[in-house]
Amino acid sequence: MSTQFATAQQSTLRSAADSLGIDIGVAVDDNLLQNDSTYRNVISEQFNSVTAENGMKMETVQPSQGNFDFSQGDRLVQFAQQNNMSVHGHTLVWHSQSPNWVQNLSGAEMEQAMVDHITTTMNHFEGDVDSWDVANEVVENGQLRNSFWLQGIGSDYIETAYSAARQADPGADLYLNDYSIDGINSKSDRYYQLAQDLTSQGLLDGMGFQAHLILGQVPGDMEQNLQRFADLGLDVRVTELDVRIDMPASQQELQQQADDFERVVNICTNIADCSGVTVWGLRDGDSWVPDTFDGQGAPLLYNDDYSTKPAYDAVLAALGGSQPPPPTETTEPPGTTEPPPPSGDCSAVIEVVNDWGSGWQANVSVTGPTDGWTLSWNWPGSQGISSSWNADITESGSSVTASDVGWNGSIASGQTQQVFGFIGSGPAVEPSVTCSAG
């Protein structure tokens, strides 16, 4: 058995996402977080980002005026910190799941209550919540939604909310977030205007696309749509991904669902400023979908017994990871040990993990010993690198050099680590690489 040419593959969603430098997130239910240790273990093993499915919404946080209850949010933050995860906050200003008391205010009183809610909540979580859906679902039918907020405060309530948020926690990334804006349409066009407005005032950092999708209906122009927001200088994020199926789901439909998830994750990894993808719940039975859409369900990555679905494998593959191979029979006599690792210099391998025609993704692994590495190779044709992560890259004509960025420089003798990745242009290739240590 030879390990010499094995590449270090990432075998969990989170390790694969970590090596791409993006978030793979999940919406977390507070009750399950408290009471189900398997739920906690699967989430901490597989995800590097969490969002409270309900626990940071206004009706939970401020059920009566001036009485704040952060217990659900605090539990999530503590779980995230124990497991080295980021937290995406959801949400401060929404027409739904807001307490009656605020809906009954008007004018200056409602505006003050909105600002107080944003300020107190964001101050409380300052430093613990990395990004916030400040306003959620504020557009409908191509115009500002006629919500109680709009009626009570007037159309500048959104700008007021983002100004208050910016002041409350200048370190948090501020997002807008909505559903049915995944493709280019009149709703996402209206958001494009709103995003331009807020961005020009320095009040917006990101655009969240919920992506509550129907099987087989990932919009064909989704990548183009996200890219136009990224081109405004914003981060983009898929914030609430699920793909619902008419029940019962057939094997073929589960495979189609896997393709849909894979496509959405690929869209995110294709866009340099995509901060990540969050799925809206862990198991099919945890999802909001069956309660809302009669006869539809099975929209997530896990079955109710915590076994993974084809969609899980597809997301893992789209992130550049793969399942660990099943244990293999060995013919070696007992007592035989592995051959010693190669001594001398380091070696490296480029592996194409995804090729979508107009571009491709490769992961690069280095086998030690090395304390700092510089890799070099030549492109055989018109290839180039359009983006990369975790390496310093210089291209000159057809020759490329890539060196470590410090933390990923040291690899022990015989160890193989996936150290960086890149998006290539031109035909996908796996050229041979020279590795110089030190």
Q: What residues numbered 114-143 form the site for ligand 9MR, per CB under 6 A?
A: 136
Q: What residues numbered 234-263 form the site for ligand 9MR, per CB under 6 A?
A: 240
CB of 286 to ligand 9MR, least distance (A): 9
CB of 278 to ligand 9MR, least distance (A): 11
Residue 96, interface with ligand 9MR (CB under 6 A)? yes
Chain position whose Cβ is nearest to ligand 9MR? 288
CB of 96 to ligand 9MR, least distance (A): 5
Q: What residues numbered 140-199 form the site for ligand 9MR, per CB under 6 A?
A: 179
* Per rule CB under 6 A, count of chain residues that contact ligand 9MR: 9
- Does 111 participate in catalysis according to the annotation? no
Site mask for ligand 9MR (CB under 6 A), range 197-226, x = bound = -------------x----------------
CB of 123 to ligand 9MR, least distance (A): 22
Cβ-Cβ contacts under 8 Å for 112 (sequence gap 6 or more):
none
The DSSP line for 123-182 is: HHTTTT--EEEEEES-EETTEE---HHHHHH-TTHHHHHHHHHHHH-TTSEEEEEESS-S
List 148, 288, 293, 356, residue binding ligand 9MR (CB under 6 A): 288
Nearer to ligand 9MR, 58 or 80 (CB): 58
Q: Tell me 220's DSSP state.
A: T
Kindly give the interhelix angle for 186-200 and 157-168, rounded to the nearest 10 degrees. Answer: 50
Residue 53, interface with ligand 9MR (CB under 6 A)? yes
CA 242 to each of CA 218, 225, 422: distance values in angstroms, whole numbers, following the listed order: 11, 19, 27
Give the rounded distance of the alpha carbon of 296 from its chain centre. Answer: 25
Residue 296, interface with ligand 9MR (CB under 6 A)? no
Annotated catalytic residue, options 53, 137, 253, 262 = 137
Cβ atoms 298, 243 nearer than 8 A: no
- Does 59 participate in catalysis according to the annotation? no
Cβ-Cβ contacts under 8 Å for 172 (sequence gap 6 or more):
89, 122, 126, 129, 130, 131, 132, 165
Residue 31, interface with ligand 9MR (CB under 6 A)? no
Alpha-carbon distance 393 to 371, whole Å?
Answer: 18
Q: What residues numbered 326-385 form the site for ligand 9MR, per CB under 6 A?
A: none
Annotated catalytic residue, options 53, 111, 223, 240 = 240
Token pair for 151? 């009626």
Alpha-carbon distance 252 to 258, whole Å?
Answer: 10
CA 70 to each of CA 48, 52, 74, 99, 247: distance values in angstroms, whole numbers, following the listed order: 22, 12, 6, 15, 37
Nearer to ligand 9MR, 38 or 96 (CB): 96
Cβ atoms 263, 218 nearer than 8 A: yes
Catalytic residues: 137, 240
Binding site for ligand 9MR (CB under 6 A): 53-54, 96-97, 136, 179, 210, 240, 288
